A and B are shown apart, each in its own frame.
Chain A
């Protein structure tokens, strides 16, 4: 199928919406649109960050997922207590591939599950005493932890436990950072509010710990990587590029990050924001309080990586800019070889994306470097400012879908017939059973890293491996496939 015109896209949206009752139709229509790159503001064409409709299959998560799973969870030397019933912690345990260095259970705790395991009596009589006791136990069993966060699950907010008071008390007793995070799952419409709450918790309880301490030797080239969760080692492949440029990466937020890095971040000269959606709040706060400017960057695919490296270098003096050009020149043969090898195999293939809050726009460049075209994209929990940034990245009249429902996504795929879909685990098996090649773009399908020049080689290989896999031709049993061909022949 060729590129769709605006009318065709609009007609497709209308057709998909037809099965809904009138009210639902009206609501969902606001979330689906065909892209118009000439618009400056997305609110003229798409609504986002609104409550999902009851009765449809949404793909979103909750505020707890946003805080425990994304922002706080990867901080490796702290213990993150899932405060509430046992399920939330256990089912989200080690689900994200936030890689880290250290010995799990000794000085790092990311893949472990700590929970207060709420029972009926805790709901009736309150769980503060249990939390108090739990923190003492944690201190005895894991004395090398550098701090504790309390990630509230829904019941904590419902019964009104005072986790802040417990935190303050335990902070005095054990002398370590204890952070209460009010990220009850029912808050907000998606995990996005969880990110915001977690950012606010960092701001209120952790960030300013070393404000009066100037023992940390600073340089003029200190930067912090903000919003890189080290999925499959992403932050490491980004970090080496920055370090080769002559910058010193003081902190990684929060993949392979630590509480000490967080406390040192106010001392950097520039914040580099990769995931704008989940960490712009803290970057804005640091800009206001500590005068640290922040810039967004994108390390997916060589074109965008080079663009971003130059943009970052432009914030520093000429020595960095010179080294930046050296880095770019050094890696050129490497990524050029990747493009030469894979582009002929992938050229012209069409991709549909549906990811969280950053990748729907960030990975477009990487696909384009391989000669592929993104024909539809959408965010689970993006806000208007994310769509503002997306409009320019996407081609004219391509599909944009916000908080797409399971049904809509399937219908779009049936009609648009992309060659590849990039989305999450919940969508994976539906589309694979439909016979469409699929990559998980949340966890890189257990591969990675995809950031930087090193990551691009893996990205290209993975896309080729998925798209040109011979299995897609063998989805039909041979006798069924033959039947279909014969019928076509008979009709003709």
Chain B
């Protein structure tokens, strides 16, 4: 259950950052991103995945959230 920080990088892409793991990577796929909420299973460019509890809409970024191991 690491704390992850989601922000937009210079190119406007969503990135996920885990301080403890030195991991900062672009999110290539997010399960819910639009009218039906925001979050769920996210997949990173390096292939790993995390699960964020879905929020109602896109929050103000950057934001720190608790993430769980995702189902890939």
A196 touching B22 by the CB < 8 A rule? Answer: no
A196 with B19: CB separation less than 8 A: yes
CB-nearest residue of chain A relative to B25? A41
Bound state CA distance, A288 and B62, in angstroms?
5
Is B32 close to A, CB under 8 A? Answer: no
Query: Which residues of the other chain, B, contact A287 by a CB distance below 8 angstroms?
Result: 7, 62
Does B5 belong to the interface (CB within 8 Å)? yes
Considering the complex, give the chain A residue whose CB is closest to the CB of B26: A40
Contact with A288, one of B5, B23, B25 (Cβ below 8 angstroms)? B5
A281 and B19 within 8 A (CB): yes
Quick check: is B35 within 8 A (CB to CB) of the other chain? no
B: interface residue count bin: 10 to 19
B64: interface (CB < 8 Å)? yes
Residue in contact with A284 in the complex, picked from B23, B25, B62, CB distance below 8 Å: B62
The proximity string for A residues 38-70 relative to B, scoring 1 for CB distances below 8 Å and 0 otherwise, is 000101000011000000000000000000000
Interface SS of B by simple majority: strand
Which residues 17-62 of B have a CB within 8 angstroms of A?
Answer: 17, 19, 22-25, 46, 60, 62
In the bound assembly, the distance between CA atoms of A65 and B22 in angstroms comes to 21
Q: In angstroms, how far is the closest chain B Cβ from the Cβ of A315?
A: 11
A97 CB within 8 Å of chain B: no
Which residues in A have their C-beta under 8 angstroms from that of B64?
288
Complex Cα spacing A196 to B60, Å: 25
Complex CA gap A48/B23 in Å reads: 12
Q: Is A383's CB within 8 Å of the partner chain B?
A: yes
B1: Cβ under 8 A from any A Cβ:
no
Compute how far the CA of A394 lies from the CA of B67 in the bound complex, rounded to whole angstroms: 35
Query: How many Å lie between the Cα of A385 and that of B17 in the bound state?
Result: 11
Q: Is the CB of A288 within 8 A of B63?
A: yes
Q: Is the CB of B46 within 8 A of A41?
A: yes
Specify the chain B residue showing the minimal Cβ separation from A291.
Answer: B60
Question: From residue 254 to 309 of chain A, which have CB atoms closer than 8 A to chain B?
Answer: 281, 284, 287-288, 291
Whether a CB of chain B sits under 8 angstroms from the CB of A384 is yes
Would you give the shortest CB distance from A469 to chain B, in whole angstroms? 40
Contact partners of A284 in chain B: CB under 8 A:
5, 7, 17, 19, 62
Closest Cβ of chain A: how far from B8's Cβ, in Å? 10
Task: Tell whether, in the assembled complex, residue A384 and residue B46 are in contact, meaning their CB atoms are under 8 Å apart.
Answer: no
- Chain A interface SS verdict (over half): helix
Please, which residues of chain B bring their CB within 8 A of the CB of A291?
60
Known: A284-B5, A284-B17, A287-B7. A384 touches B22 (CB 8 A): yes
* CA of A288 to CA of B19, assembled, Å: 14
In angstroms, Cα B24 to Cα A7, docked, is 31
Q: Which residues of chain A are within 8 angstroms of B22 by Cβ–Cβ distance?
A: 48-49, 383-385
Q: Which of A171-223 contact B (CB under 8 A)?
A: 196
The CA-CA distance from A275 to B56 in the complex, in Å, is 37
Residue of A at shortest CB range from B19? A281
Contacts of A49 in B (CB 8 A): 22
Would A385 and B24 count as touching, CB distance under 8 A? yes
Q: Which residue of A lies closest to B6 (CB)?
A: A288
Contacts of A385 in B (CB 8 A): 22, 24
Q: List, in ascending order, chain B residues with CB within 8 A of A384's CB.
A: 22-23
CA distance A383 to B24 in the complex (A): 11
Contacts of A48 in B (CB 8 A): 22
- B61 nearest in chain A by CB position: A288
Chain B contacts of A383 at CB under 8 A?
22
**Chain A: which residue is nearest B10 at the CB level?**
A295
B20 to chain A, nearest CB (A): 9
How distant is the Cα of A336 from the Cα of B25 in the complex, in angstroms?
39
Least distance between B68 CB and chain A CB atoms (Å)? 20
Q: Which of B17, B19, B64 has the most CB of A within 10 A?
A: B19
Contacts of A281 in B (CB 8 A): 19
Mark A384-412 against chain B: 1 for CB-CB distance below 8 A, else 0: 11000000000000000000000000000
For B17, list chain A residues within 8 Å (CB).
284
CA distance A383 to B22 in the complex (A): 7
Knowing that A284-B17, A384-B22 are A-B contacts, what are 14 other residue pairs whose CB atoms are under 8 Å apart, sorted by A's residue number?
A41-B25, A48-B22, A49-B22, A281-B19, A284-B7, A284-B19, A287-B7, A287-B62, A288-B5, A288-B63, A383-B22, A384-B23, A385-B22, A385-B24
A–B Cβ pairs within 8 angstroms, 12 of them: A41-B25, A41-B46, A43-B46, A281-B19, A284-B7, A284-B17, A288-B5, A288-B64, A291-B60, A384-B22, A384-B23, A385-B22
9 cross-chain pairs, A with B, having the tightest CB-CB distances, nearest first = A383-B22, A384-B22, A288-B62, A287-B62, A385-B22, A385-B24, A284-B5, A288-B64, A49-B22
Q: Which residues of A contact B (CB under 8 A)?
A: 41, 43, 48-49, 196, 281, 284, 287-288, 291, 383-385
